[in-house]
A and B are shown apart, each in its own frame.
Chain A
Amino acid sequence: GAGVSQSPRYKVAKRGQDVALRCDPISGHVSLFWYQQALGQGPEFLTYFQNEAQLDKSGLPSDRFFAERPEGSVSTLKIQRTQQEDSAVYLCASIKGRGGSYNEQFFGPGTRLTVL
């Protein structure tokens, strides 16, 4: 596709439900990032993949958060037993190469998660 796509764009969950958020990066992009953006704040790093390998998950806030990218393309961020503090916009970004500080990240439109 032309850009990074994410689905669903909006998700409302009841507290305690599990949710799965999908990211389709730009075709051929090696690196993929997940960020969490709370209202009125900047995105905060969650996790990073290089192909199918999860190289950094230091930003995941708890063991309720799990991400995977089994075939090195599409990625899924799963949140188990959602809590109200999980309400945020979840952003996915991809980079053509193997990361590197100078490379531009291409962002998807985000999934807005609201936990009631």
Chain B
Amino acid sequence: GNSVTQMEGPVTLSEEAFLTINCTYTATGYPSLFWYVQYPGEGLQLLLKATKADDKGSNKGFEATYRKETTSFHLEKGSVQVSDSAVYFCALSDTNAGKSTFGDGTTLTVKP
């Protein structure tokens, strides 16, 4: 079956530091890949997505590239802000119905 493995947290960084959160996946077929973010007290919301190999998703300074050869979708940001503190979930979506398989989440705390 499908699975997603995320870098374990929590991750604590100083403001303006570089961020990488690793994500690897196992899937049959050609899934789409997503990063969702959950800010404190809020629901899950889509951060970025990529639907085919070599696609790069980007939003709010975050980027991730769909690497089929390494089955990875690592999240990066060049300079984090305190407001980026949240839980980040990597996910893949089934090619048929769209149901998603999620990683366990990585908690990011950015200190001023």
Residues of A within 8 A of B (CB): 4, 31, 33, 35, 40-45, 48, 50, 55-56, 59, 91, 93, 95, 99-105, 107-110
Contacts and interface: CB of A to CB of B under 8 A. Distances in A.
Contact of A42 (B45, B89, B94): B89
B4 interface: yes
B58 interface: no
Contacts, number: 75
Interface string B40-54: 001111100101000
Interface in B77-97: 89, 91, 93-97
Contact of A43 (B6, B32, B94, B102): B102
A109 B42 contact: yes
A112 to B, nearest CB: 12
A33 B31 CA distance: 17
B100 interface: yes
Contacts of B49: 102, 104
B98 A40 contact: no
Contacts of B46: 104-105
A101 B98 contact: yes
B105 A41 contact: yes
A52 B106 CA distance: 35
A43 B44 contact: yes
Binding site of A, secondary structure by majority: helix, strand, loop or mixed? loop
Nearest to A34: B99
Contacts of A95: 98
B104 A101 contact: no
Nearest to A95: B98
Contact of A44 (B42, B43, B97, B102): B102
B79 to A, nearest CB: 26
Nearest to A47: B99
A18 to B, nearest CB: 25
A75 B105 CA distance: 27
Contact of A100 (B36, B98, B103): B98
Contacts of A48: 97-99
B96 to A, nearest CB: 7
